[in-house]
Homo-oligomer: A and B are copies of this chain.
Amino acid sequence: MAITRKRAFYLILIFLIIIDICLLAYVTFYPVDSSLKVGAWTFDLILCVVLWIEFIYSYYHCDDRKQYMRDNGLSILGMLPLNFYFLRALRLIKLVQMIKLYVLARDSEKAFTRFLKRTYLDKILFVAILFIFLLTVLIRIVDSDIHDLATALWYIVVSATSTGYGDIVPTTVSGRIVGIIAMVGGILIFSTLTAVISSIYVSRISRDTRDDLESKIEDLTLEVSKLNEKLDELKNEKD
């Protein structure tokens, strides 16, 4: 029951964060009148308060506070009600965390938890999101040809996936340095993703191999236990 209530609560939070992200994205990327902007910012502020309450509550009720801070400390970034509009995109981090918590609340999904723990997939996603947003802000500041954040984001994604259409190309040294970081970093992130997907297949093959060998060892164990019984009999006969 507690689990059902918890999950319902997380589901509502996920829903609210998605609405919040869409609203803020709309307000950021499209020209809108200020009343809508104020509305979106108020909604965002209220959501931040709710997220902080949930965070503090969870912190005081968890088993191991140090472990909790290590696991969720970074998600604090996703709860800052900063007025600098772009940093609100960090709310995405909070979304990832909430989805993770929602999944974790399902006690039947232990395999998924183990999978996350073994592959660090949530950490990789987190780093990827942070990486893309930091570089987006950076290239926007550094390159004078990129006039808005939507274009900056487009440039970074096109570079990080090593697609490189060439519609936007930095020409200054500092812009090119950001570009190189985006390209190399992007390859590293996607390489890690390839490695994670590979590890799924490998772990299955490894499990099969282990099962085969274990059954062989069990045969041996059976043989040895027979030996044990016979020896016991021999001893008993003697006594």
Report which A residues bind B (CB closer than 8 A).
29-30, 118-119, 150, 154, 157-159, 161-167, 169, 173, 176, 179-180, 183-184, 187-188, 190-210, 212-214, 216-221, 223-228, 230-235, 237-238
Which of B163, B198, B208, B213 contacts A162, CB < 8 Å?
B163
Q: How many copies does the complex hold?
A: 4
Distance (whole angstroms) from the CB of A191 to the closest CB of chain B: 4
* Complexed CA–CA distance, A195 and B49 (Å): 43
Which of B158, B173, B197, B228 contacts A230, CB < 8 Å?
B228
| Residues of B with C-beta under 8 A to A191 | 190, 193-194, 197
| Residues of B with C-beta under 8 A to A230 | 228, 231-232, 235
Show 24 A/B contacts (Cβ-Cβ < 8 Å), sorted by A: A119-B201, A154-B180, A157-B183, A158-B179, A158-B183, A162-B162, A163-B183, A167-B169, A187-B193, A188-B193, A191-B197, A194-B194, A195-B197, A199-B202, A199-B205, A201-B202, A203-B205, A206-B206, A206-B208, A213-B214, A223-B228, A230-B231, A230-B235, A231-B234
